[in-house]
Amino acid sequence: MMHESDSVRALPIITFDDDELLTAASASAAASADAGVAVDPATGAEIGRFPNQSIADLEAAIDTAEAVQPEWAALDDRVRRAYLHRAADAIEASSEALARLLSREQGKPLNGPNARFEVGACAVWTRSAADTELPVEVLIDDGENHAELHYRPIGVVGAISPWNWPMMISIWQIAPSLRMGNTVVIKPAETTALSVRALVAVMNQVLPAGVLNVVTGPGRTVGAALTRSPKVGKIMFTGSTPVGQQIIEASAANVTRLTLELGGNDAGIVLPDVDPAAIAQDLFWGAFINTGQTCAALKRLYVHDDVYDRVVEELAAVASSVPMGVGLDEGNLLGPVQNRNQFDVVDRLVESAKASGARVVLGGDPDYDAPGNFYPTTLVADIDPHNDLVLEEQFGPVLPIIRYTDLDEAVRLANELDYALGSSVWSADRDAALAVAARLRAGTTWINSHGGLHPAVPFGGAKKSGYGREFGVEGLKAVSEPHVING
């Protein structure tokens, strides 16, 4: 049932505790023999089960989303905004249980820019999607001609999210889509299915039935079927570049609209005029936020020879002081790598750096027999700019630091990869930093920081980091069909 805006703002909300949330997220999984198992990456212990759904389940969810979409789209915009605000209220009411489940399943600690921060961002981005204005644009009105641009819903949006920021990235896909009158079917990553199911269960306390649907199953079957469905008008995908490329191919048959947030291997360039001690904290968190498992994290750092040794020293001092451990322990700020496949990628890349003669300043010595997927915070200095650890996306708690003397060469190296999501320039001279920024190819270039996002500022990639932009007005347009009324 769909309501008026005042009654939406008064819809009842439950504050879930840990057990209630796990039960809501698990749904009927316990009874199912082939249920998916959610594993704590800090310990290897099972934390819960979720339904391993089929393509038939997916098709049923798409049919539901398609059936209710006209009624959802027909609501006054104020009512849809009210629903989003009430969904954000619901997220906030259960924020502690959501953060604890996220911490257990994803591995990220509760504190720092981690689980509580991620759940808080879910509410912030939901409210921002509700409050962003996208009025009808009058394009010409000169007495002879009148043309207006309206933004209509596309229909059913298929959302596919990754395991690194599973709740927040899902919200980035869900909230603008709903605001614009679309309905949503979301397919979370297999290793963070419970987190997204929990988030959806919390939001669905208030959203009308069928508007937001979650289907948990394998990407290569259920995810692929979502991208091929003729009933899905738009795919919002965040994940790896190879899967993004498969989705582009799948979209051809139905000319499905796409927003693709793909891989990143962000460069940071440190100019010789910096104060190494002053920037070390921000450099560290730019690279190691979410234990390095962030699309737009600093993944290769180019430092001028004049300040190289001091920057490495200051970074090592910060890095060695930041505690890593089990997420639910309030003292930790870094956690495990989320899954063993990713741990193996990180390990392979560090071994390649070691074999090349690069200098391991910190870390690089995981305890392979310890429980969980902990990879120690690792800094690798004096590394060849074409070592695999520099060229490939490590997506873990490791930073290669490359020495340069010629700025043109640093810019060339920063720009030479297929990835172009983010980048950063670090300097005491803003004009000098801006001049370098103008030469970098990226969706975003930060000055004296790396990776900060704001719900009103468009975010997305260049080159093989994807296309389309999320957030703000651009983000609403991305989940709409522009419609000109001429006359």
**Residues forming the active site:** 261, 295
Ramachandran category for residue 462: left, alpha or beta (phi over 0 → left; psi -120 to 50 → alpha): beta
Q: Which is nearer to ligand NAD, 169 or 361 (CB)?
A: 169
DSSP symbol at 412: H
C-alpha span between 236 and 479 (Å, rounded): 9
Query: Among residues 213 and 227, whose Cβ is nearest to ligand NAD?
Result: 227
3-class DSSP state of 405: coil
- Measured at the alpha carbon of residue 445, what is the angle toward residues 307 and 394, in degrees to the nearest 5? 75
CB 238, min distance to ligand NAD, A: 5
Per the CB < 8 A criterion, the answer to whether 300 and 294 are in contact is: no
Query: Least Å distance between CB 312 and ligand NAD?
Result: 25
Least Å distance, CB 141 to ligand NAD, is 38
Measured from the CB atom, the residue of 228 and 304 that comes closer to ligand NAD is 228
Q: What are the φ/ψ torsions at residue 63 (nearest 5 degrees)?
A: -60, -40
Q: How far is the CB of 139 from ligand NAD (least distance, A)?
A: 32
Residues in contact with ligand NAD by CB under 6 A are 160-164, 169, 187-190, 219-220, 223-224, 227, 238-240, 243, 246-247, 261-264, 295, 393, 395, 421, 461, 465-466
Minimum distance from CB of 249 to ligand NAD (Å)?
A: 10
β-strands 480-486, 146-153: how paired?
A: antiparallel
CB nearer ligand NAD, residue 243 or residue 318: 243
Q: Which is nearer to ligand NAD, 163 or 308 (CB)?
A: 163
Q: How far is the CB of 184 from ligand NAD (least distance, A)?
A: 14
Please state, in angstroms and as integers, the Cα–Cα distance from residue 306 to each residue in 276, 300, 302, following that order.
11, 18, 12
Give the dihedral of Cα atoms 437, 438, 439, 440; nearest 10 deg: 50
In whole angstroms, the minimum distance from the beta carbon of 163 to ligand NAD comes to 5
Nearer to ligand NAD, 87 or 262 (CB): 262
Neighbours of 12 (CB within 10 A): 8
Answer for the pair 331, 321: CB distance below 8 angstroms, yes or no: no
- Nearest to ligand NAD of 427, 465 (CB atom): 465
Residue nearest to ligand NAD (CB): 219
CB–CB of 53/215 below 8 Å?
yes
Nearest to 51 by CA among 69, 26, 71, 75: 26
CA atoms within 13 A on the CB side of 62: 23
List the one residue out of 450, 446, 454, 459 whose CA is nearest residue 125: 454
Using alpha carbons only, how large is the chain's radius of gyration in Å? 23
Give me the amino acid identity at 297: A
